[in-house]
Amino acid sequence: MLTEELRHKLWKICRRTPFESSIVIRPELNPAPINLVEYFPSSVKSLFLELGSGWGEVVIELAKRNPSTGYIAFEKKWNRLKQTEVEASKLGLENIALSGINFQWFLEDLFLYETFDTILLNFPDPWPKKKHFKNRSIQIPFLELIYNLLKPGGKFLFATDHGGYARWSIRKLREFEKLKWKDQEYSFERKDFPISEFEKEKRDEGKRIYYLDRFKA
């Protein structure tokens, strides 16, 4: 549990925006959840959240393909967010919003339950040493939060190239029975979905990618 003093210190770190943009979300810490209507045109009918968007290749491509979906990209490294912002501006995309807030610290503070149609978490840090397993994103409280943020029928998309983390995540998802799988528990491909440069590099290295996609029944 974070103390209130530490929470506010971490929040200040997250809000240090090195550039200004109308598509950067900068909420206060303790008011009502973010009003996402402010960030998207009225033509947006569904919402997609990417946790750890990297250089933005996936969210940019998805936003190009699906103009009626609003995409919220969380990435704690501001140079990566800046590149995403530049690319979105260049392409004239109005259905992207960005945040540098660390989702592992503050995600539960930011959104109303049943907000998102899809939540994506691709290639988080696997924390491969046993003593660091507690730092892995895929934990039961995190899965509970994902479940709450999804609309009924919403999807949670997860991928890792780390075999140990894949097995860990399968066990956690089996334990957390509210998120269901459809055709198969995991797969080695995700059809018709854009990939990042990081994923391309891993594929080129011969790494196996594990996709553990679930939905909220």
The residues carrying an active-site annotation are 125
Query: How far is it, in rounded angstroms, from Cα 21 to Cα 1?
Result: 32
Query: How far is it, in rounded angstroms, from Cα 87 to Cα 59?
Result: 11
Query: How far is it, in rounded angstroms, from Cα 60 to Cα 47?
Result: 14
Quickly list DSSP for 11-43: HHHHT--SS--TTB----SSSSPP-GGGGS-TT
- Token representation of residue 141: 């409280």
Nearest CA among 139, 214, 121 for reference residue 175: 139
Query: How far is it, in rounded angstroms, from Cα 9 to Cα 93?
Result: 33
Query: How far is it, in rounded angstroms, from Cα 23 to Cα 1?
Result: 31
Quickly list DSSP for 114-129: S-EEEEEEES-----S
